[in-house]
Amino acid sequence: MDTDDITLKLRDVRAASGLSLSKAAELTGVSKAMLGQIERGESSPTISTLWKIAKGFQLPLSALIGTDALRDTNDGDLFRTVTFPGSIAVKIVFPYDPALGAETFHVDLSPNQRYDSAAHAAGVTEEVFVLDGTLEVLRGGDWVPLQSGQGLRFAADLPHGYRAGDVGATFLNMHHYVPTNGRDLAAGQPAMEPRQ
């Protein structure tokens, strides 16, 4: 999905409305020369003018931008690595997306390695799916044993921890945050600490 699709979208939208460039310019507050250039792909509009156009046509921005571009991530060719406080390295399988409120990590623990996590924000839920080895998850006050191919879902707004077995453990770790409505982004922060 490319950004040129905006040109097609705008052309279709304007054609559907039956408006000329002049009237569209008068309606949106964007000069008709600029509208023409955008439609021809000769200019990459700023979001400010994109917003003017969407407002003039009384349309959401999604009507101008390709829907695939709004949600498809880049092909997961290479994973970025992030380090949690506690010095375990995890790989990002699916990065945090505010629209989903979810992120997925790929974690690898050496034999008998343990990692404890403090309580996250209220409402945060974690899921664990063991890919290889054996793992124990501290949920509430109990260590829940998991084998390869097994999963566990638990509330992460309590202290919890992970402990690998004698052969180590590899598992996926999904974080689900509470849906952030609008601007209260501070409430649904992902759990990745600023660390390198």
- Could you tell which of DNA, a copy of itself, none binds residue 36, using a CB distance below 5 to 8 A set by kind? DNA
Partner from DNA, a copy of itself, none contacting 110, C-beta within 5 to 8 A by type: none
Residue 194 touches DNA, criterion: CB under 7 A: yes
Strand partners, 83: 89
In this chain, which of 1, 2, 3, 22 binds DNA, going by CB under 7 A? 22
In whole angstroms, give the CA distance from residue 156 to residue 186.
Answer: 17
Report how far apart, in Å, the C-alpha atoms of 139 and of each of 97, 153, 167 are.
26, 9, 21
Please list, residue by residue across 117-127, b when 16 or more beta carbons sit within 10 angstroms of its beta carbon and e when fewer do. Answer: beebeeebbbb
Which does residue 93 touch among a copy of itself, DNA, none (CB within 5 to 8 A, set by kind)?
a copy of itself
Structure tokens at 95: 């990065």
Nearer to DNA, 32 or 106 (CB): 32
| Residue 102 token pair | 């979810």
Amino acid at 58: Q
The neighbour count for residue 89, using CB atoms within 10 Å, is 12
Question: Does 33 interact with DNA (rule: CB under 7 A)?
Answer: yes
Distance CA 78, CA 91 (A): 9
Which one of the spans 68-76, 133-141, 144-152, 188-196 is the region binding DNA (CB under 7 A)? Answer: 188-196
12's contact among DNA, a copy of itself, none, with CB below 5 to 8 A by partner kind, is: a copy of itself
Cβ proximity to a copy of itself: between 76 and 86 the closer is 76
- Rounded CA separation 13/65 (Å): 11
Out of 5, 8, 32, 176, name the contact with DNA by CB under 7 A: 32
CB of 166 to a copy of itself, least distance (A): 22
Report the Cα 90 to chain-centroid distance in Å: 17
189 belongs to the binding site for DNA (CB under 7 A): no
Which partner, a copy of itself, DNA, none, binds residue 98 by CB below 5 to 8 Å per kind?
a copy of itself
Interface contacts to DNA, rule CB under 7 A: 20-23, 29-34, 36-40, 42-46, 48-49, 194-196
